[in-house]
């Protein structure tokens, strides 16, 4: 016996070429068909898993060994993910033990590189190694003095201010997992801050976002960041004032 | 003035009305983050018991943010109508809750009460109400607004068609717009969040919706949700602006972080009115709000986020808006942690807004770092439908690819209309039938309308 067709398809499916929005989904009655519903659910599952993923410090350290830069593992004051999600203020503060560790490595550096889980550790687990390799190569081309690379767990962007200030670096660059979207659970954002110190707000930073294989590619991202860093050193500032002059590059 | 209440020899003290309101507020992460929430469940109930005995009159003499320093407080106090307040002037907050639920309190009684209420009174009473109380009272309210159609009539339920695109690509937006119209969405407004807030870009989008609307004689209105200063500039240069949009918050300081104040909104309101584009009514403003916005701007003055939100409604109602939308789950888990908190906040906002006389809609939504999913949104959508919410969003497959959050789909609105027997606004319903998009019982038929729409836009 032939199964009856329950699903009504939409005759305007050709419009899908103009947008990634979930148009022309068809319907059963007036509800979303099962295939489309499960596709959505899978995308949401990827995003949720990304939020609860953990920074793979061992693997990242292993693959960055060859750069011959000390690597420090740090933690914010947020004890776990649930607390991290509800108390962004704790994610911006360093745990006492981490603060002590920084004192041992304090010095005079040009740049402090920080790799942070943010809202998607999965994103930095997937992208940070290649991004850092590309950045370090560019930084070494003009002999910037690099601070130990810091891997930070339960971390927000502003934690970079404490870390770079503690280490004695003139500029911080934090590579952090961005809030996962339904179609992008692996996107990294890079925030740079000149003269980092506790108490700064976001208008003092510049951001290069959507760094991932389907978005802004690693090498291109590294070049953008490198350009901004050179400008920040040249003009001794970062943030809104830098963006205005760096033009399209910061978009 | 301090308040206190004793439970089992434990004396709970509340410093002032502001502190009492915060401690009486149902648990949410934003108040914890602000450090103003109750420390224990018992303290919260102690605060609620105490709040129940506070006379409503006290709210007229105790500004929770000083009159001298905040223009929203001045607006609240100066626009309070003592005659409208008369029927409830003798009540405490707790008695007011019981009064609202009484069988003889009907739609007209509540409509007449509007200017007798301050947002703090309304916020206070909501803290003593269960979800079902918030629904039962909101359902008695009816707030009808008009521009090119009639929104908010009982038995009707509308949607804002939200065809956003990450790069504002006109063809991408048009594709989502066609999809939405063919699913019966867009009777509240066709409203685009622009990715870029430039006057020329916004103008392109305004023209895109306006020509489509005129070509097909769609009885609805358009809006591009740019900053009010951009809209003002566009009005002055002759762009087809139907509605003037702005995000607003409940304190002067928070509004100033949005780059707005009452004078600026008044200027834009007058400018939009002067265009005289509404055919059957003159409600020209579209406001968006959301609990937590004052705290996130560090401008909450120690006031709990739900009371701050209600104060934003006092600002909205000065300008007779067509639509007010609380974007409840967009702000993230540090303000509303999970589905339970989002649902509670949405019902509070809808109740408070309606009681203050606003045409409330709700963006039933969540972000991926909130502890929520589609099931929570289904619950909330259904509750709001029962409560008589004026409108929700309509987004292809719930997935806003520009703002990166999940809201309600075109299908969701059809579900709600079906299970609760709700209909689109009357003018739009007629149009859907004329175009052959729905049949005479409101079922989707699609058919010939699609070809015409596609030919026009592609």
Q: What is the pLDDT of residues B312-360, one digit of tens each?
A: 999 999 999 999 999 999 999 999 999 999 999 999 999 999 999 999 9
Beta strand spans in chain A (E): 71-75, 109-116, 149-153, 169-177, 188-194, 205-211
Across residues B290-316, what is the average pLDDT?
97
Distance of CA A40 to the CA centre of its chain: 24
Torsion of CA A83, A86, A92, A93, to 10 degrees: -40
Average pLDDT in the B127-139 region?
A: 98
Tokens describing residue A193: 């801050």
CA torsion angle B216 B217 B221 B224 (round to 10): 30
How much is the mean pLDDT over chain B?
Answer: 96
- State whether residue B450 sits within 8 Å of chain A by CB: yes
Backbone angles phi, psi at B151, to 5 degrees: -105, 140
β-pairing, B323-326 with B285-289?
parallel
Report the alpha-carbon distance of residue B175 to residue A150 in Å, rounded: 46
DSSP state of A206: E
Residue B92 DSSP label: B
Minimal CA–CA distance to B271: which of B314, B317, B247, B239?
A: B239
A196 in Cβ contact with A131 (< 8 Å): no
d(CA B207, CA A105): 59
Backbone angles phi, psi at B81, to 5 degrees: -105, 110
User: Which of B163-177, B278-292, B436-450 has the weakest average pLDDT?
Assistant: B436-450
The kind and range of the H/E element at B409 are none
Closest CA to B289 of B255, B322, B238: B255
* DSSP character at residue A146: B
Encoded tokens for B100: 């609202």
Which token pair is B309?
């939100």
Q: Are B404 and A179 an interchain contact pair (Cβ–Cβ within 8 Å)?
A: yes
Average pLDDT over residues A190-196: 97
Residues of chain B with pLDDT > 90: what percent?
A: 94
What is the number of other CB atoms lying within 10 angstroms of the CB of residue B86?
A: 11
Of A10, A16, A179, the CB nearest to B368: A179
The pLDDT of residue A245 is above 60: no
Residue A248 pLDDT > 60: no
Residue A5 pLDDT > 80: no
Greater model confidence, B241 or B451: B241
Q: pLDDT by residue (tens digit) across A114-126?
A: 999 999 999 999 9
pLDDT at residue number B307: 98
Answer whether residue B456 shows pLDDT above 80: no
Query: Is there a contact between B145 and B152 (Cβ–Cβ < 8 Å)?
Result: yes
A25 close to A33: Cβ distance less than 8 angstroms? yes
Q: Which residue has the higher pLDDT, B120 or B448?
A: B120
Residue A79, by phi and psi: left (phi above 0), alpha (psi -120 to 50) or beta?
A: alpha
Q: What is the pTM of this model?
A: 0.94
Provide the token pair at B355: 């009681």
The radius of gyration of chain A from alpha carbons, rounded to an integer in Å, stands at 21
- Per-residue pLDDT, averaged over A199-212, amounts to 90
What's the gap in Å between the CA of A19 and the closest CA on chain B? 5
Helix axes B93-101, B41-52, angle to 10 degrees: 80
Q: Do B175 and A183 touch (CB under 8 A)?
A: no
**Which positions 68-107 of A are in contact with B (Cβ < 8 Å)?**
85-89
Identify from B397, B407, B442, B443 which residue to disrupt to test chain A contact, counting A C-beta atoms within 10 A and taking the largest count: B397
Chains A & B: contacts with CB separation below 8 Å: 122
Residues of chain A positioned with their CB less than 8 A from the CB of B368: 44, 47-48, 50-51, 179-182
* Phi, psi values for residue B289, rounded to 5°: -140, -175
Q: Chain A within 8 Å of B259 (Cβ-Cβ)?
A: no
Average pLDDT over residues B391-397: 98
CA–CA distance from B317 to each of B36, B194, B266, B307, B323 (Å)? 28, 25, 12, 16, 10
Q: Are the beta carbons of B176 and A32 separated by less than 8 Å? A: no
Q: Which carries the bigger pLDDT value, residue A2 or residue B4?
A: B4
Res A249: pLDDT: 41
A36 → chain B, closest CA residue: B397
pLDDT category at B448 given cuts 50, 70, 90 is low
Mean pLDDT of B181-207: 95
pLDDT at B450: 72
- Find the length of chain A: 251
Predicted confidence at residue A134, as pLDDT, reads 98
Confidence of residue B447 (pLDDT cuts 50, 70, 90): low
The rounded distance, in Å, linking the Cα atoms of B97 and B99 is 5
Q: What is the pLDDT of residue B452?
A: 75
Q: Residue B21 carries which DSSP code?
A: H
pLDDT of residue A251: 36
What is the model's pLDDT at position B72? 98
What lies within 8 Å, CB to CB, of A3 at 6+ separation is none
Residue bearing the bigger pLDDT, A244 or B251: B251
Q: What angle do CA B197, B203, B207 make, to 5 degrees?
A: 140
* pLDDT tens sequence across B409-437: 999 999 999 999 999 999 999 999 998 89
CA B330 to the chain's CA centroid: 13
Give residue for tokens 């070049």. Answer: A223
pLDDT band at A184 (very low <50, low <70, confident <90, very high): confident
Helices (H), B183-292: 199-216, 228-236, 252-257, 262-275
CB contact under 8 A, A18 and B174: yes
Q: How confident is the model at residue B43 (pLDDT cuts 50, 70, 90)?
A: very high
pLDDT value of position A203: 83
pLDDT at residue B309 in the model: 98
Q: Residues B110, B111, B115, B121: is their CA dihedral positive or negative?
A: positive
How far apart, in whole angstroms, are the C-alpha atoms of residue B2 and residue B347?
A: 30
Q: Is the pLDDT of residue B119 over 60?
A: yes
Cβ atoms of residues B34 and B302 within 8 Å = yes
Give Cα B371 to chain centroid, integer Å. 22
Instruction: Give B261-282 pLDDT, tens digit per residue.
Output: 999 999 999 999 999 999 999 9
Residue B264's nearest CA partner among B241, B302, B230 is B230
DSSP alpha helix (H) spans, B224-304: 228-236, 252-257, 262-275, 293-296
Q: What is the pLDDT of residue A250?
A: 37
Of residues B319, B312, B278, B313, the one with CA closest to residue B293: B312
Q: What is the DSSP letter of B328?
A: T
At residue A207, what are phi and psi to the nearest 5 degrees?
A: -125, 135
pLDDT value for B433: 93
Q: Specify the pLDDT at position A244.
A: 52
User: What pLDDT, on the 0 to 100 scale, is given for residue A201?
Assistant: 84
How far is B277 from B320, CA to CA, in rounded Å? 16
Residues 6+ apart with CB under 8 A from B434: none
């Amino acid at each position: 016996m032939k199964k009856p067709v329950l699903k009504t398809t939409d005759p305007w499916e050709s419009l899908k070429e103009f947008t990634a929005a979930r148009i022309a989904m068809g319907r059963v009655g007036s509800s979303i068909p099962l295939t489309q519903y499960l596709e959505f659910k899978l995308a949401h599952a990827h995003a949720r898993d990304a939020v609860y993923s953990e920074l793979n410090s061992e693997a990242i350290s292993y693959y960055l060994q060859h750069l011959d830069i000390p690597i420090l593992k740090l933690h914010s004051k947020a004890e776990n993910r649930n607390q991290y999600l509800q108390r962004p203020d704790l994610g911006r503060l360093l745990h006492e033990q981490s603060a002590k560790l920084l004192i041992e490595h304090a010095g005079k550096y040009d740049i402090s590189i920080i790799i942070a889980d943010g809202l998607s550790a999965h994103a930095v687990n997937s992208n940070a190694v290649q991004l850092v390799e590309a950045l370090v190569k560019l930084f070494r081309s003009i002999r910037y003095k690099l601070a130990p690379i810091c891997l930070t767990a339960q971390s927000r962007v502003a934690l970079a201010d404490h870390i770079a200030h503690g280490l004695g670096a003139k500029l911080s660059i934090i590579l952090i997992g961005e809030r996962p979207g339904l179609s992008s659970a692996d996107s990294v954002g890079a925030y740079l801050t000149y003269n980092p110190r506790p108490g700064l707000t976001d208008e003092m930073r510049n951001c290069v976002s959507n760094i991932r294989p389907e978005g802004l590619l690693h090498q291109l991202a590294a070049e953008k960041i490198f350009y901004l860093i050179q400008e920040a050193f040249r003009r001794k500032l970062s943030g809104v004032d830098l963006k205005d002059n760096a033009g399209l590059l910061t978009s | 003035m301090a308040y206190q209440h004793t439970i089992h020899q434990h004396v709970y003290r509340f410093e002032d009305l502001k502190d009492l309101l915060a401690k009486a507020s149902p648990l949410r992460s934003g108040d914890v983050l602000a450090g103003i929430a109750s420390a224990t469940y018992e303290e919260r109930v102690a605060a609620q018991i105490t709040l129940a005995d506070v006379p409503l009159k006290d709210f007229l003499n105790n500004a929770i943010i000083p009159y001298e320093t905040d223009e929203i407080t001045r607006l609240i106090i100066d626009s309070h109508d003592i005659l409208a307040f008369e029927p409830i002037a003798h009540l405490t907050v707790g008695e007011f809750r019981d009064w609202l639920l009484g069988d003889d309190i009907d739609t007209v009684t509540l409509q007449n009460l509007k200017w007798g209420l301050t947002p703090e009174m309304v916020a206070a009473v909501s803290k003593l109400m269960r979800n079902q109380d918030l629904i039962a009272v909101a359902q008695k309210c009816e707030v009808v607004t008009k521009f090119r159609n009639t929104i908010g009539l009982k038995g009707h339920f509308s949607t804002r068609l939200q065809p956003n695109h990450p790069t504002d690509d006109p063809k991408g937006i048009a594709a989502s717009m066609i999809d939405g119209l063919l699913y019966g969405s867009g009777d509240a407004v066709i409203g685009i969040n622009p990715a870029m807030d430039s006057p020329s870009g916004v103008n392109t989008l305004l023209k895109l919706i306006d020509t489509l609307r005129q070509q097909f004689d769609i009885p609805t209105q358009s809006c591009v949700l740019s900053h009010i200063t951009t809209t003002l500039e566009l009005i002055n240069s002759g762009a087809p602006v139907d509605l003037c949009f702005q995000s607003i918050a409940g304190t002067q300081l928070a509004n100033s972080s949005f780059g707005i104040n009452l004078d600026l909104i008044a200027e834009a309101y007058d400018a939009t009115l002067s265009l005289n584009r509404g055919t059957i009514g003159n409600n020209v403003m579209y406001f968006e709000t959301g609990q937590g916005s004052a705290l996130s701007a560090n401008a909450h003055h120690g006031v709990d986020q739900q009371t701050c939100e209600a104060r934003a409604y006092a600002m909205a109602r000065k300008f007779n808006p067509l639509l007010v939308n609380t974007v409840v789950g967009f702000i993230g888990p540090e303000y509303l942690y999970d589905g339970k908190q989002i649902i509670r906040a949405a019902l509070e906002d809808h109740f408070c807004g309606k009681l203050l006389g606003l045409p409330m809609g709700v963006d039933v939504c969540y972000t991926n770092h909130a502890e929520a999913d589609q099931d929570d949104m289904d619950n909330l959508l259904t509750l709001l439908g029962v409560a008589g919410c004026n409108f929700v969003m309509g987004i292809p497959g719930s997935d806003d690819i520009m703002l990166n959050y999940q809201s309600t789909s075109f299908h969701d609105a059809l579900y709600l209309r079906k299970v609760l027997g709700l209909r689109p606004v009357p003018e739009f319903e007629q149009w859907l039938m004329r175009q052959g998009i729905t049949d005479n019982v409101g079922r989707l038929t699609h058919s010939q309308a699609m070809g015409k729409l596609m030919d026009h836009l592609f």
